[in-house]
Amino acid sequence: MGSYKMCIFFTRKFDFNEAQPPPDVMEAFEKFSEGESHMTAEQLHRFMVEFQGDADTTTNDAKRIIHKVIDKRHAVTKIARHNFKLEDFYYYLFSDNLNPPIHDQVRQNMNFPLSHYFIYTGHNSYLTGNQLSSDCSDVPIIKALKRGVRVIELDIWPNSSKDDVHVLHGRTLTTPVSLIKCFHSIKEHAFSTSPYPVVITLEDHLTPDLQAKVAEMATETFGDMLYFPQAECLLEFPSPEELKYRIILSTKPPKEYLESKTWMNRGNDPQGGKDSDEEPWGKEAVDPTAEFETDDKDDEDADDDDDYNSRQSGAPQYKRLIALHAGKPKGRLKEALTVESGGVTRLSLSEQELVKATVSLGPTLVRFTQKNFLRIYPKGTRFNSSNYNPLIGWMHGAQMVAFNMQGYGKSLWLMHGMFRANGGCGYVKKPDHMMVEECDLKVISPVKKTLKVRVYMGDGWHVDFKKTHFDSYSPPDFYTKVRIAGVEADYAKVKTKVVKDDWVPVWDEEFEFPLTVPEMALLYIEVREHDKHEKDDFGGQTCLPVSELRTGVRTVPLFDREGEKYETVRLLMRFQFV
């Protein structure tokens, strides 16, 4: 008797039952097929317009969907049919390539100045792993560009013989990669995903002769792709539309090196100082009202005074190629953010400096970013390439919230979610309230709309995971966490019940989220497998921009911890705005 029970116990892990369509789906089929057993293309089109809210679809779109589904589901039997049965209709609704949760086209006006957009931004884009000892390579740069990242950061240093330029994280054990190799990879892959401009922020630790070499490399590699203005400085930056397929260089103009006291007074080891874009390991953030000197680099480079004149020769050409000047303000942060220099500049703050600055300078930060650029970077103690909350930067207008793209975790998932918006082109228009003169961040807006989210069911784990991944002896116990990330007033988190022992869990639960700033809201979804004795197992995640959600019943594909899409794991959900 005991052995019989044990046999049953072990075979439970192989149990798998296909779930039936949710009641909402069956009711919709009944309604729009007008009680018939088949749904025509005209009826499917009416469902798409009236139930799903896809007002811009046509009957031909419905016909194409029917054709794809019939071909896919009945490829072997070669059934020739031009309408849907219920199971075909359900298959269509639960296919992420036919019925995705968000729009996949550029939908925003791309004709505003570049400063009006949040930009998908990488930090130390050449690192393959941690900040201290990982390899430097063009591979993570290529991967980032293919994902849609539009700002690539390169730390450039002299090589050991000081006759060429390497990319590496200075004063660490990271192994270098040549700058020219990075440039070639950027040229090849810059526009493989998005046509909009790529900004290369240079963390420059070079002597003027090597700066001249960088200018030569950039000119020869990028040619006409390289954008640089004819004027000394821009009063307003061109739009993403005007800058399609262009490469933009951003760093401090060399004049600032040549005129600075630190240039003249330091020793001749160009790697001897610290990056001002990188805090010393363990240093606390400075007070935003204290004396302030920031942006991407201290004046690392130095030779003896006798070499000063001979080393200027490369500066003019190099300076001419810098389209977005990274300023080097002196004094207090408030003055740095309010003094009008006449031209567009870029400033950088660490995540800690930003948090402190938001306490008293929040509106000032927003006003600064209406014309100029603000870049936020991870604090120096993030040795493991972890990240921080990107929403703080975005809510204060920072266009370039720089992330370690290899630093997997919830913060990076939020970053992925934000830039799934606008067709994944790497540019997302700021909300209108950030572009008005008197932007008061402390005023809580009234609720603009309420998002209703219904979590019907999930499927695909039995394909993408081993049968024993979640539990050695029984099917998994799944539940779904649903959160809103955005302004403080909109933050919310809920979760479904746990469905025990089922590879295809059916929850059929609905939640409501009142939203005061829906333009900034991100819908974060994560599936977990409940475990009584250990930490709940990860079962997939995604993050979606609320502004891009397609209403109606939609398939939501899930991604692994590194942000790679699972082959089959997905949820069936419904989104409504009321």
Q: What pLDDT, in 10s, does the model give residues 240-263? A: 999 999 999 999 988 655 454 343
Q: Are 360 and 473 within one domain?
A: no
Domain total in the chain? 3
Residue 439 included in any domain:
no
Q: Which residues of 153-163 are buried (b: 16+ CB within 10 A; e: fewer)?
A: bbbbbbeeeee
Out of 77-81, 184-188, 321-325, the most confident range is: 184-188
- Identify the pLDDT of residue 550: 98
Regarding whether 375 and 300 lie in a shared domain, the answer is: yes
Q: Is 109 inside a domain boundary? A: no
414 and 480 in a single domain? The answer is no
Summarize pLDDT for 493-530 with one digit per residue, the tens.
999 999 999 999 999 999 999 999 999 999 999 999 99
In a domain, 438, yes or no: no
Q: Are residues 118 and 84 in the same domain?
A: no
Model-level pTM greater than 0.95?
Answer: no
Nearest to 215 by CA among 174, 182, 163, 180: 180
Assign residue 396 the CATH number of its domain: 3.20.20.190
Q: Phi then psi for 308, rounded to 5 degrees?
A: -55, -50
Q: What is the pLDDT of residue 272?
A: 35
Considering the domain architecture, whether residues 474 and 418 belong to the same structural domain is answered as no
| C-alpha to C-alpha distance for 546 and 485, rounded to whole angstroms | 10
303-307, 333-337, 550-554: lowest mean pLDDT where?
303-307
* Tokens 């019907």, residue located: 456
Q: Dump strand ranges (E) for 407-471.
A: 427-429, 449-459
Range of the domain at 68: 2-93
Q: Are 545 and 420 in contact (CB under 8 A)?
A: yes
- The pLDDT confidence band at residue 274, using thresholds 50, 70 and 90, is very low
- C-alpha to C-alpha distance for 35 and 43, rounded to whole angstroms: 11
Q: 235: how many CB neighbours lie within 10 A of its CB?
A: 11
Q: Which member of 45, 166, 169, 205 is catalytic?
A: 169
Set 45, 116, 123, 325: catalytic member = 123
Report yes or no on 78 lying in a domain: yes
pLDDT (tens digit per residue) in 113-164: 999 999 999 999 999 999 999 999 999 999 999 999 999 999 999 999 999 9
One domain, residues 69 and 134: no
Same domain, 289 and 401: yes
Calculate what percentage of the chain has a pLDDT beyond 90. 76
The CATH number of the domain where 11 resides is what?
1.10.238
80 and 123 belong to one structural domain:
no
**Residue 223 predicted with pLDDT over 60:** yes
Residues 232 and 311 in one domain: yes
Residue 108 domain flag: no
> Based on the domain organization, do 399 and 517 belong to the same domain?
no
Q: Are residues 265 and 198 in the same domain?
A: yes
123 in catalytic set: yes
67 is catalytic: no
Query: Does residue 159 sit in the same domain as residue 297?
Result: yes
